[in-house]
Structure 1
Amino acid sequence: MNKSSLIFVIALLSASVATAQSTAPQYGQCGGQGWSGATTCPSGWSCKYSNDYYSQCLPGAASTTTSAGGGGGTTTTTGGGGGGTSTSTAAGGSSTLAPGYSFIRAVEAPNFHKYLQSEVLNTASDAVLGEPGNAAQFQITGGQLIQNAAGKNLYAIVEPLVDTTVKKLKVTWSTTPATSGTFVFSGDTVEWSNPTITRPQNNAWLICPDAAGHLDLYVNLGPYSYQTPAGCADETIHAYTGATATA
């Protein structure tokens, strides 16, 4: 092989490698703040926004959604490369994730892959973990954790701290936004903070069954996995953007 032919083959191989690296795998990450990997999805798949830090290749063609802009107006994002808050509506408890939403689930025993939802589905009731078939869908916008409950917004409310000896604060759902505390996604992990409350870890949660066996969600005010209140389990809870909620 002469030198010219060798150079041509090397260039062809390099182009093939670059093309392969420019396409994310099915269900792989394709966008988000700080993401430097592939942003193109395979044919028949599109890059769907989950949160500011994570977008994922999911089945289906790209769709255009109206998103909240940073200056009081609106911007339009197509497919979701890692920005914007989708205004698409999903049915609460749907097994198919809507663009711009995330499931939220625990990833540790004894509540592995239990999903966040309302104790009484789609209503302003206690925040609990439950089975994948009833998984609700969520956005975090403006510090509010918002559940799409059959097309209506429910807001996560953390009970106020009235006794400094208390080690946990219960989370419920309300039809009106929270007036204190801030929810954020840190990567895919859900955190809650309040400037008047000091916590060792903002991503520490507790799951404490009630008398009826419902897995109630609490903010953990103590150290994670240490001095855990009796009957409770330490958990972190995470966004999950697979097409369906899976066990």
Structure 2
Amino acid sequence: MVSSTALSIIGALFFVAGAAAQTAPQYGQCGGQGWSGATTCPDGWSCTVSNQYYSQCLPGAASSQPGSPTTSPGGGSPTSTSSSPSGTSTLTPGNSFIRAVEDPNFHKYLRSEVAGTASDAVLGEPNTAAQFQITAGQLVQLVPDGSKLYATVEPRANSTVMKLKMSWSESPASGANAGTFQWSGDTVEWSIPTIQRPQLNAWLICPDAAGNKDVYINLGPYDYQTPAGCADETIHAYTGATATP
């Protein structure tokens, strides 16, 4: 007769085996510390490490195994693996690139619309990627000349407004509309006590009349009731040596 303890162990083994046999969705989580879900990606996709807590199914060949992130010097920023360098900007230790990881903005990088100036926040190509830190709740862009730019978010005019435009300022964000930027794993979040958001890491990319990919904070539900012309995104730290496509 098999004991109840043995049956429990056998059941747990079958559960783990079943989870491992499942296939994670495209751009879905596939690994990380404490992850018990699917670890296999669809054909043509690989489980790519973002940090010790999160690995994601991304297009192409694997750069590393789930749960084995490459660490980067400097501290304070999430770590990720990198593929062959192809960007022109070399990451300074302690900084991070920030990029989207979903179509139609896959591996488009955060920057100023006019590079290195106080202008709209946009996503651009890898060879124009800016570098960032999050310090005391401020999202800080490090400009090559040694100066700093600070992310600011427009105030919400009324409760019907569901997206807030982000731009760069030469002065730190302050006052009732400043809000707080923070890392959650490798994901950038923004919160403010006066607004309740369904998802703190929900962003929108909405092209302007000139085709610039303007960055907005999404106050509504992610991937639902998306404003016309916009795309839902999350934006993530990347600490490879250079910004890569």
Q: Same fold (TM over 0.5)?
A: yes
- Relative contact order (C-alpha < 8 Å, sep 6+): which is higher? 2
Residue aligning to 1:215 = 213
Q: Secondary structure at the match of 2:127?
A: helix
Preserved contact between residue 205 and residue 216 of structure 2 (Cα < 8 Å): yes
Task: Quote the residue 2:190 is aligned against.
Answer: 192
After superposition, the C-alpha distances for 1:23-78 in whole angstroms (9 at most, x for unaligned) are xxxx988989xxxx889x8xxxx8413535x34689xxxxxxxxxxxxxxxxxxxx
Superposition CA RMSD, Å:
2.5
Provide the C-alpha distance between the structure 1 equivalents of 2:220 and 2:51, rounded to a whole number of angstroms: 36
2:172 to 177, 182, 203: 177
The residue identity in structure 1 corresponding to 2:93 is P
Distance 1:130 1:176 in 2: 23
2:161 maps to a residue whose letter is: V
Structure with greater proportional strand content: 1
Answer yes or no: is 1:110 the counterpart of 2:135.
no
Give the whole-Å Cα distance in 2 for the aligned partners of 1:176 and 1:146. Answer: 10
Question: Within 5 Å, which residues of 2 pair with 1:92-111?
Answer: 95-111=89-105
Other structure's SS at 1:48 match = coil
Separation (CA, whole Å) in 2 of partners of 1:224 and 1:31: 25
Identity level (%): 66
> Could you state the TM-score of these two structures normalised by the residue count of structure 1?
0.66
What one-letter code is carried by the residue in structure 2 that aligns with 1:169? L
CA distance in 1, matches of 2:122, 2:215: 5
Structure 2 spans left out of the alignment, 5+ residues:
1-47, 54-66
- Partner Cα distance (1:49, 1:192) in 2: 23
Q: Does 1:156 align with 2:151?
A: yes
CA distance in 2, matches of 1:230, 1:30: 33
Runs of at least 4 residues off by over 6 Å: 27-32
Counterparts of 1:4-43 in structure 2 under 5 Å? none
| Structure 1 residue runs without a partner (length 5+) | 1-26, 59-92
Q: Partner residue of 1:140?
A: 134
CA distance in structure 1 between the partners assigned to 2:206 and 2:68 by the alignment? 40
Given that 2:81 and 2:240 are in contact with CA atoms closer than 8 Å, whether structure 1 keeps it comes out as no
User: 70, 73, 76: which is aligned to 1:51?
Assistant: 76
* Contact 1:106–1:237 under 8 Å retained in 2: yes
